């Protein structure tokens, strides 16, 4: 970890992130190439159109797309992609958005994909002025339901790849694309947290939206890759709703540098370091009463593993959510991946560790588990109180 840590200067906690590439924690550790490129960019002026054209070539080279466009985030990338399918290069239509009443304006999305990434996915569609058309039910969807939802007003279909979506009985992407393309409907894939930058375009998606600041290690940004015509329409949204989502020169250069660095990154070495951290945690938790630690693969087939830590509160003397809370409140604070915490487990993600932090995480786990074993009663805050406390904490900002 850098010795030039600005957080104490700002009065901020020096947290350790074992939650993953989470926007709420700042997403990821930026790669040195992106940091250097942004530093060199900030004092200079650029022809922004030419700079976007440069980034388009970089994106195309890495993804295999015809063209690409840098956005402020994946969220804005989805909104801009939807807008592009509605307006094409029609400058007047672009200026009129979010009034899409004169345009094809329906966007299909599987009901099981209507999830929250911190905000509702379907809100991104509505921000462009489009209407959301849910397909199927949350627990199942079929090709006939998708085909039957396509009308003369359908402008696009959005497919979400995420650990949040329902992961069973859903129309698979290959079928999703085939059904939509048979009726001339373009497919947008939300691949915000995905590692493979070619897979979805190779499968036939028209536009794919990636994060520039998660696995890539660039500045906060989104990347839209796809056909030249649709990417041109994405770029033109800067004359309309995209203006409020504009991206700065330093971000375009920074994410382009991160993309270029991706081609020569030591991916095998990164995997080896992550596995070594997992082994440290497995060994630290071995034999701990009420704790079961299992290395599990990423649910969307990214090339990484996490440690699933399941807690039996009767034996460990603490619930999974109370343990996670104590880890976050301690010194140093350790933030775990807790999106399934009510099921009695959390995950440790090694992808954003600085050197030696895996040992600090192991020490904090041992410390909190040891404290819990001394408790006469099981430390168990009712889970409904935990959810309500989190809501209150959000509403308390900025206090």
* CATH classification of the domain holding 220: 3.40.640.10
Cα–chain-centroid distance for residue 276? 24
110 φ, ψ to 5°? -60, 140
Q: Do 15 and 48 sit in the same domain of this protein?
A: no
Site of tokens 């109370």: 322
Share of the chain above pLDDT 90, in %: 81
Q: Do 14 and 95 sit in the same domain of this protein?
A: no
The closest of 119, 194, 127 to 159, measured between CA atoms, is: 194
Residue 3 belongs to some domain of the structure: no
Q: Do 313 and 226 sit in the same domain of this protein?
A: no
82 φ, ψ to 5°? -60, -45
Among 262, 277, 306, where does a domain finish?
A: 262
pLDDT tens for each residue of 301-349: 888 899 999 999 999 999 999 999 999 999 999 999 998 899 999 999 9
Q: Do 39 and 154 sit in the same domain of this protein?
A: yes
| pLDDT, mean of residues 348-353 | 93
pLDDT band with cut points at 50, 70 and 90 for residue 213: confident
- Which pair of structure tokens corresponds to residue 357? 């932090």
Residue 369 belongs to some domain of the structure: yes
Q: Do 240 and 372 sit in the same domain of this protein?
A: no
Q: Do 276 and 218 sit in the same domain of this protein?
A: no
pLDDT tens for each residue of 151-206: 999 999 999 998 888 888 999 999 999 999 999 999 999 998 888 889 999 999 99
Q: How many residues does the chain have?
A: 399
* Exposure of 264 in the CB half-sphere (CA atoms within 13 A): 6
SS3 assignment, position 141: coil
Q: Do 208 and 313 sit in the same domain of this protein?
A: no
Residue 383 belongs to some domain of the structure: yes
SS3 assignment, position 211: strand
Among 228, 262, 296, where does a domain finish?
A: 262
Query: What per-residue string of b and e applies to 15-53 under the rule 16 or more CB within 10 Å gives b?
Result: ebbbbbbbbeeebbbbbebbbebbeebeeeeeeeeebbe
Residue 226 belongs to some domain of the structure: yes
Among 239, 262, 285, where does a domain finish?
A: 262
Query: CATH code at 285?
Result: 3.90.1150.180
- Which pair of structure tokens corresponds to residue 342? 């009510």
Site of tokens 């995420």: 162
SS3 assignment, position 302: coil
Residue 387 belongs to some domain of the structure: yes
SS3 assignment, position 388: helix
**Domain count for the chain:** 2
Peptide bond into 332 cis (omega under 30): yes
pLDDT band with cut points at 50, 70 and 90 for residue 105: very high
Q: Do 252 and 337 sit in the same domain of this protein?
A: no
Instruction: Identify the bridge partners of residue 304 per DSSP, sorted by sequence position.
Output: none
Residue 2 belongs to some domain of the structure: no
Q: Do 195 and 289 sit in the same domain of this protein?
A: no
Q: Do 119 and 145 sit in the same domain of this protein?
A: yes
Q: Do 202 and 296 sit in the same domain of this protein?
A: no
Q: Which domain holds residue 95?
A: 32-262
The answer on pLDDT for 2 being more than 60 is no
Q: Give the pLDDT of residue 4.
A: 83
pLDDT band with cut points at 50, 70 and 90 for residue 1: very low
Q: Do 348 and 286 sit in the same domain of this protein?
A: yes
- Cα radius of gyration rounded to whole Å, the chain: 22
Cα–chain-centroid distance for residue 339? 13
> With contact defined as beta carbons under 8 Å apart, do 111 and 136 qualify?
yes
Residue 168 belongs to some domain of the structure: yes
154 φ, ψ to 5°? -75, 125
> With contact defined as beta carbons under 8 Å apart, do 172 and 200 qualify?
no
């Amino acid at each position: 970890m850098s010795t030039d840590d600005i957080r104490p200067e700002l009065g901020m906690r020096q947290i350790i992130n074992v939650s993953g590439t989470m926007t709420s924690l700042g997403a990821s550790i930026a790669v040195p190439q992106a940091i250097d490129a942004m530093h060199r960019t900030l004092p200079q002026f650029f022809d922004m159109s030419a700079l976007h054209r440069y980034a388009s070539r970089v994106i195309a080279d890495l993804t295999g797309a015809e063209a690409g466009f840098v956005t402020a985030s994946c969220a804005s990338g989805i909104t801009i992609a939807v807008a592009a399918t509605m307006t094409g290069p029609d400058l007047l239509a672009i200026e009129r958005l979010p009034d899409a009443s004169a345009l094809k304006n329906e966007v299909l999305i599987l009901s099981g994909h209507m999830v929250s990434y911190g905000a509702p996915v379907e809100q991104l569609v509505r921000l462009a002025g489009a209407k959301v058309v849910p397909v199927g039910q949350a627990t199942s969807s079929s090709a006939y339901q998708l085909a039957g939802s396509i009308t003369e007003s359908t402008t696009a279909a959005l497919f979400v790849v995420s650990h949040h979506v329902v992961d069973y009985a859903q129309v698979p992407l290959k079928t999703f694309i085939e059904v939509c393309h048979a009726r001339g409907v373009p497919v947008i894939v939300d691949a915000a947290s995905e590692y493979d930058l070619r897979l979805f375009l190779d499968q036939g998606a028209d536009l794919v939206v990636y994060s520039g600041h998660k696995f890539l290690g660039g500045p906060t940004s989104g990347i839209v890759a796809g056909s030249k015509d649709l990417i041109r329409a994405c770029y033109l949204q800067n004359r309309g709703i995209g203006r409020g989502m504009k991206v700065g020169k330093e971000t375009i250069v920074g994410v382009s540098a991160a993309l270029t660095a991706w081609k020569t990154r030591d991916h095998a070495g990164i995997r080896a370091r992550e596995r070594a951290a997992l082994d440290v945690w497995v060994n630290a938790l071995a034999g701990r009463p009420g704790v079961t630690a299992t290395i599990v693969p990423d649910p969307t087939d990214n090339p990484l593993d996490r440690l699933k830590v399941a807690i039996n509160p009767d034996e460990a003397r603490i619930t999974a959510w109370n343990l996670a809370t104590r880890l976050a409140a301690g010194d140093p604070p350790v933030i775990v991946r807790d999106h399934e915490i009510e099921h009695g487990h959390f995950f440790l993600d090694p992808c954003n560790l600085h050197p030696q932090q895996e040992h600090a995480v192991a020490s904090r786990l041992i410390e909190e588990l040891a404290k819990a074993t001394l408790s006469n009663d099981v430390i168990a805050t009712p889970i409904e109180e935990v959810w309500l406390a989190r809501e209150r904490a959000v509403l308390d900002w900025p206090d």
